[in-house]
Chains A and B, each alone.
Chain A
Amino acid sequence: MPLSEHQVRHVAQLARLGLTGDEVATFAEQLGQILDYAEQVGEVATAEVPPTAHPLRPVNVLRCDEPVDALDHDAALAPAPRVNDGRFQVPRIAGEEEPEASADPNSADPNSADPTAAQATGDGGERP
């Protein structure tokens, strides 16, 4: 059964994928077909069966706690599309959802000295 265009747009939003109108229609059809096929897994009785992620089921992979060379700061930044002052740069994040609020001095981002460029460092910090 095809997904609804509303479902496709919702999933695309979750995945941060901008889709064109044509893509929405095509994916509604194709994702429906693929999920119908994949739903066969529901026919299998699995009440007592644990899930598998690693077939050899390793437990507690340990290594010696010794310092080793890590990736150099500049080398790690080199492939980034925008860098500012030794950090990854993204468009302003604070106030993104409510542009009017930025007129209110009480809601200004205390961490951002430059109102045009909020900065994020490291994994995960950049998602609004």
Chain B
Amino acid sequence: MSELHGLSAVELLVAQDRGEASAAEIVQAHMARIAATDERIGALLQVLADAARSRADAIDRRRAAGEPVGSLAGVPLALKDILCTRGVTTTAGSKILKDYQPPYDATVVERLADADAVPVGKANLDEFAMGSSCENSAFWPTRNPWDLGRVPGGSSGGSAAAVAAGQAPLAIGTDTGGSIRQPAAMCGVVGVKPTYGRVSRYGLIAFASSLDQVGSFARNVTDAALLLEAIAGSDPRDATSVHAPAEGMRAELDDGVAGLTVGVVGEFLEGEGLAPSVRDACRRAVDRYAALGADVVDVSLPHAPYGLPAYYLINPSEASSNLARYDGVRYGLRVDAPTTEAMMAATRDAGFGAEAKRRIMIGTFALSAGYFEAYYAQAQRVRTLIARDFEAAFADCDVLVGPTAPTTAFPLGDKTADPLAMYYNDIYAVPASLAGTPAMSLPVGTDDDGLPIGLQLMGPLLGEATMLRAARALEADLGLEAAPSGVGPLEAEGRT
């Protein structure tokens, strides 16, 4: 058996069932991997060593006593530090919440505990999930395990990097406009954003409420689907959560693509600014679908080019409203000043980083008197047209494909001075976010520099099972289901 930190979640479950490894040994192996790699990668803001060990011991005791254990028993997992964990510091990557200890657990955290997953750390992110490179973290930038001079993508960059580096086989991320899919593409892992409303957002620190969704990272499609099944399902504490059965994400996984219709999105694959290496890798993937027996057709999402402009009105508008709560009164940082208004302004100036301020400013402007109709309301109407484009495409197709991101991972510092250049990272991810459809990124190859490339797959509303089936078929065909991707470059550099 290879090293424990190289195994998938399913393999770790089997190893425990067979008595080949205990949860304690599994957690220990991943703690060692974190110790060996995270000083250079910086994926985790906090390592939950003691809690993980005691949870693993409890699982081992229950297993030994013949008691039932959960669907993810003893499987290590990294949790994006934007989900509330009771009594455990939850920062959202922001100085304004640097010492915040939530008084309650997010529903996702409760469900993971019910499944006996073992959180090993809280993963770094762009502040309040605003960013595409993890460089907006108030603490430190996470580095890409494939090339430490490059970004891991964002905002769930810590989650993606942790999985790529073998620190955990699974991670939880959140995706508002690509924050799971783009870092998954850049770190060579699988990242799934389910349908809007699939997963409860109770205890998720709110960013853009009509778009935010929790999802999964893994090194293969089956693991990602397994994690999604554990966290999905309606929740009375989140009125936007959808009443649809959580099971069945894996129901079609091994059914292959013969008979499925795969739509290739012209606006994405012919998009300006798409790196030739990414375009070529996506085209090869499309060819494989044809070879595997799928009907491959060209489709158009005519309003998709308006997705990013609409997104950068909707997202900041909702963010400015959500972030109004950080005012130095109920939680988080307070900078004292003689009056309440001066205290709030001083607190928010000291507590928020540049990107958070930028979005608060854009959103406040877009929602202010005289601009609301032309900006926010118009963007929500454009959103309807984008959703209709998807609906029309899914009348003929079972799944849509295109690139996840326009380029592979870029060097740290490359785009920090130019907000619009950073925003372009999400140009292909945002349309599915606006339409609310499930979407995911699957590794389909590498560029000339050896950097991973992701193919984006998009399914109809609540159509995760078919989307995952199409992803699994291509994964099996490409044979990319892999050991921790970061091992090569890291080991070449010499482990400490």
Contact = CB atoms under 8 A, between A and B. Distances in A.
Are A and B physically bound partners? Answer: yes
Nearest to B328: A81
A59 to B, nearest CB: 11
A79 B312 contact: no
A19 B357 contact: yes
Contacts of A79: 100-103, 330-332
B370 to A, nearest CB: 12
Contacts of B176: none
Given A18-B346, A37-B309, A44-B303, A82 B357 contact: no
Nearest to A15: B364
Contacts of B487: none
B375 interface: yes
A93 interface: yes
Interface string A66-84: 0000011001101111100
Given A38-B313, A41-B313, A126-B327, A16 B344 contact: yes
B334 A56 contact: no
A46 B166 CA distance: 48
B320 interface: yes
Interface in B267-326: 303, 306, 308-310, 312-313, 320, 324
A125 to B, nearest CB: 10
Interface size class of A (residues with CB under 8 A): 35 or more
Which 9 pairs show the lowest CB-CB distances between chains A and B?
A55-B436, A51-B380, A81-B334, A18-B345, A18-B349, A46-B381, A79-B331, A75-B103, A40-B309
A81 B136 CA distance: 25
Nearest to B238: A61
Instruction: State the main secondary structure of chain B at its contact with A.
Output: helix
A17 interface: yes
A10 to B, nearest CB: 9
Given A15-B361, A79-B102, A38 B348 contact: no
Q: How large is the interface on B (under 10, 10 to 19, 20 to 34, 35 or more residues)?
A: 35 or more
A96 B435 CA distance: 46
B375 A38 contact: yes
21 contacts: A16-B345, A17-B345, A18-B348, A27-B357, A35-B365, A37-B420, A38-B366, A38-B375, A41-B313, A41-B375, A41-B382, A50-B381, A52-B381, A55-B387, A75-B104, A80-B330, A80-B331, A90-B329, A93-B340, A96-B340, A126-B327
B384 A8 contact: no
Given A12-B361, A41-B313, A126-B340, A54 B196 contact: yes
A43 to B, nearest CB: 8
A79 B332 CA distance: 7
Interface of B: 100-104, 195-197, 210, 236, 239-240, 242, 303, 306, 308-310, 312-313, 320, 324, 327-334, 336-346, 348-349, 352, 354, 357-358, 360-362, 364-366, 368, 374-375, 377-385, 387, 419-420, 423, 434-437, 461
Nearest to B337: A91
Contacts of A23: 354, 357
A75 B50 CA distance: 23
A6 interface: no
A31 B368 CA distance: 15
A65 to B, nearest CB: 11
A113 interface: no
Contacts of A92: 339-340
Interface in A75-128: 75-76, 78-82, 88, 90-93, 96, 118, 120, 126-128
A96 B381 contact: no
Contacts of A31: 358, 361-362, 365
